[in-house]
């Protein structure tokens, strides 16, 4: 099918704005014009493309055209910059789990010029969906398999350990960290998608259902552990210096979780995407490959997906 560029641009504006009215404001046209463009695109494709919900969302068919709209916008921006003889400014939407965002991703992005980033925080299990529907052009996640039309490359891994404040440990496990202690000691959980603590408990204290505090922010999650609100699985990149200065203690020296990370991006020839990928991969080699100590003999290591911290 032949598609109208303005119609595709309008589709992207509806998704970004969440409504026809917001899309109209962004495009400087009337809501009626937006409605007519979407209707024309749907008639041309023979499918419903937009769910008239709050917020508006694309259907499965609409996601195909949304992805095309994003790709065309990226290539057009790069072409305009090349014709103007300058770097221009290209917009890149990137999905990332927040433990990575809080520790090593921002320094990588800071070294990339002429790109405006839209960072989307999401659970790693939704990363493929974000790439398929065009919400994101690239992502950091735990799945080694690329979705159709994308590539995936390994970045390294982050190591997580069960930690708590010294005061918390003295109160809840003065005789040592045991399955019995883990069954009653309050646990920190980011949100209801965060499965790291539950996976640890399944292995260490099967059937344990301790009280839990939900702390949906990466920095505050660490602060809550330091303040003794509960124990939690923290990455070495966030916790190592706090363990070193005594603010936190490692509860379990035998079990760590290795979280593999992969870089996903559209398999599209784009100088902007390539620049972001190069920066992310260089920082990953510098930080992730040297971020974890060698495991002690007999230490159990599990490979899991990253937590979706915000």
> Does residue 19 fall inside a structural domain?
yes
Q: Which domain holds residue 5?
A: 1-62
299 pLDDT higher than 50: no
> Does residue 172 fall inside a structural domain?
yes
> Does residue 234 fall inside a structural domain?
yes
Residue range 76-95, pLDDT digits in tens: 877 877 777 665 678 888 99
> Does residue 13 fall inside a structural domain?
yes
Lowest mean pLDDT, pick from 152-156, 197-201, 257-261, 304-308: 304-308
Quote the pTM value. 0.77
> Does residue 91 fall inside a structural domain?
no
> Does residue 137 fall inside a structural domain?
no
> Does residue 193 fall inside a structural domain?
yes
Lowest mean pLDDT, pick from 16-30, 49-63, 119-133, 211-225: 119-133
pLDDT given for residue 80 in this prediction: 77
Distance CA 108, CA 106 (A): 5
DSSP 176-214: ---HHHHTTS-EEESSTT--HHHHHHHHHSTT----EEE
- Within 10 Å of residue 61's Cβ, how many Cβ atoms? 15
| Burial of 247 (C-beta count, 10 Å sphere; 0-12/13-18/19+) | middle
The b/e string for 191-222 (b: 16+ C-beta within 10 A; e otherwise) is eeebbbbeebbeebbeebebebeebbebebbb
CATH value at residue 7: 1.10.10.10
Question: Which one of 12, 35, 62 terminates a domain?
Answer: 62
Question: Which one of 62, 83, 109 terminates a domain?
Answer: 62
Assess contact for 196 and 127: CB atoms under 8 A: no
pLDDT given for residue 298 in this prediction: 35
Residue range 32-50, pLDDT digits in tens: 999 999 999 998 888 899 9
Residue appearing with tokens 């709209």: 69
pLDDT given for residue 121 in this prediction: 86
Q: Is the dihedral of CA 111, 274, 9, 86 positive or negative?
A: positive
Lowest mean pLDDT, pick from 105-114, 115-124, 252-261: 115-124
Residue range 234-267, pLDDT digits in tens: 999 999 999 999 999 999 999 999 989 999 998 8
pLDDT given for residue 289 in this prediction: 62
CATH value at residue 204: 3.40.190.10
Distance CA 273, CA 162 (A): 36
Question: Which one of 12, 47, 62 terminates a domain?
Answer: 62
pLDDT more than 90, % of the chain? 58
Judging by DSSP bridges, how do beta strands 115-121 and 90-96 pair with one another? parallel
pLDDT given for residue 141 in this prediction: 87
Tokens of 207: 């059937």
> Does residue 303 fall inside a structural domain?
no
Number of domains in the chain: 2
pLDDT given for residue 185 in this prediction: 98
297 pLDDT higher than 70: no
């Amino acid at each position: 099918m032949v598609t109208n560029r303005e119609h595709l641009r309008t589709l992207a504006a509806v998704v970004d704005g969440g409504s026809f009215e917001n899309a109209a404001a962004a495009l400087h046209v009337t809501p009626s014009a937006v409605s007519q463009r979407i209707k024309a695109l749907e008639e041309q494709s023979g499918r419903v493309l937009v769910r008239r919900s709050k917020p508006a969302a694309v259907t499965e068919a609409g996601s195909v055209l949304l992805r095309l709209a994003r790709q065309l916008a990226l290539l057009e921006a790069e072409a305009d910059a090349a014709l103007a003889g300058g770097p221009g400014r290209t917009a890149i939407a990137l999905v990332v789990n927040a433990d990575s965002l809080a520790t090593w991703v921002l320094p990588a992005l800071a070294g990339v010029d002429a790109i405006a980033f839209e960072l989307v925080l999401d659970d790693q299990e939704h990363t493929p969906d974000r790439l398929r529907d065009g919400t994101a052009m690239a992502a950091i996640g735990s799945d080694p398999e690329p979705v159709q039309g994308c590539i995936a490359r390994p970045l390294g891994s982050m190591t997580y350990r069960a930690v708590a404040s010294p005061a918390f440990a003295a109160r809840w496990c003065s005789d040592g960290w045991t399955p019995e202690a883990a069954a009653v000691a309050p646990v920190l959980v980011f949100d209801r998608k965060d499965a790291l603590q539950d996976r640890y408990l399944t292995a260490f204290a099967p059937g344990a259902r301790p009280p839990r505090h939900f702390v949906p922010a990466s920095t505050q999650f660490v602060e809550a552990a330091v303040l003794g609100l509960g124990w939690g699985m923290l990455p070495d990149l966030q916790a190592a210096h706090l363990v070193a200065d005594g603010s936190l203690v490692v509860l379990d020296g035998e079990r760590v979780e290795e979280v593999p990370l992969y870089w996903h991006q559209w398999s599209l020839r784009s100088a902007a995407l390539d620049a972001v990928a190069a920066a992310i991969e260089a920082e990953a080699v510098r930080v992730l490959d040297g971020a974890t100590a060698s495991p002690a003999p007999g230490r159990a290591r599990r490979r899991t997906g990253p937590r979706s911290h915000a």
